[in-house]
């Protein structure tokens, strides 16, 4: 019996792979409602500060079917490492996805508010 083909980033057509974005490019897409911002950080980091534009999808719990269909995804985390994992997972699933260069550390300098769940200013790094 032949094992089922396992999709990998290198083996897929990568039809969903979109270029990495700098903070200005990501902000422009988000401000126009042309993309969804996916925060791949875990709950503890999310609680220290997040942009109100983001939806939390921790990398370890991310399932491609749970991401909003119909709009490109912009993946982000603190330093762009976990978002790269989310990016790869979503690309293999065929979803259109960008990664934010610089991660969350680029959010505050881009002018995106960083808040805690109670609306107070959050940590930007």
The domain locations on the chain are: 23-110
Summarize pLDDT for 7-61 with one digit per residue, the tens. 444 444 455 678 888 888 888 898 898 999 999 999 998 998 888 888 999 999 9
Residue 13 has a pLDDT of 43
Pull the structure tokens for residue 88. Answer: 């790869």
High-pLDDT (> 70) share of the chain, %: 80
Residues 41 and 84: beta-carbon distance below 8 Å? no
Summarize pLDDT for 70-101 with one digit per residue, the tens. 889 998 888 778 888 888 899 888 889 988 77
Residue 42 has a pLDDT of 92
The topology under which CATH files domain 23-110 is: Oxidized Rhodanese; domain 1 (3.40.250)
Which strands sit side by side in the sheet containing 36-39, from one edge to the other?
A: 54-56, 36-39, 73-76, 97-99
Average pLDDT over residues 102-121: 77
């Amino acid at each position: 019996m032949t094992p089922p083909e396992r999709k990998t980033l290198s083996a897929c057509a990568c039809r969903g792979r979109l270029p990495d974005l700098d903070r200005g490019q990501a902000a422009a897409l988000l401000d126009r409602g042309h993309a969804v911002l996916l925060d791949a950080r875990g709950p503890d980091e999310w609680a220290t500060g997040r942009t109100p534009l983001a939806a939390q999808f921790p990398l370890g719990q991310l399932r491609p079917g749970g991401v909003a269909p119909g709009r490109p995804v912009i993946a982000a985390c603190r330093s762009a490492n976990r978002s790269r994992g989310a990016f790869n997972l979503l690309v293999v699933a065929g979803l259109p996805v960008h990664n934010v260069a610089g991660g969350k550390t680029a959010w505050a300098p881009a002018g995106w508010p960083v808040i805690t769940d109670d609306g107070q200013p959050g940590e930007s790094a």
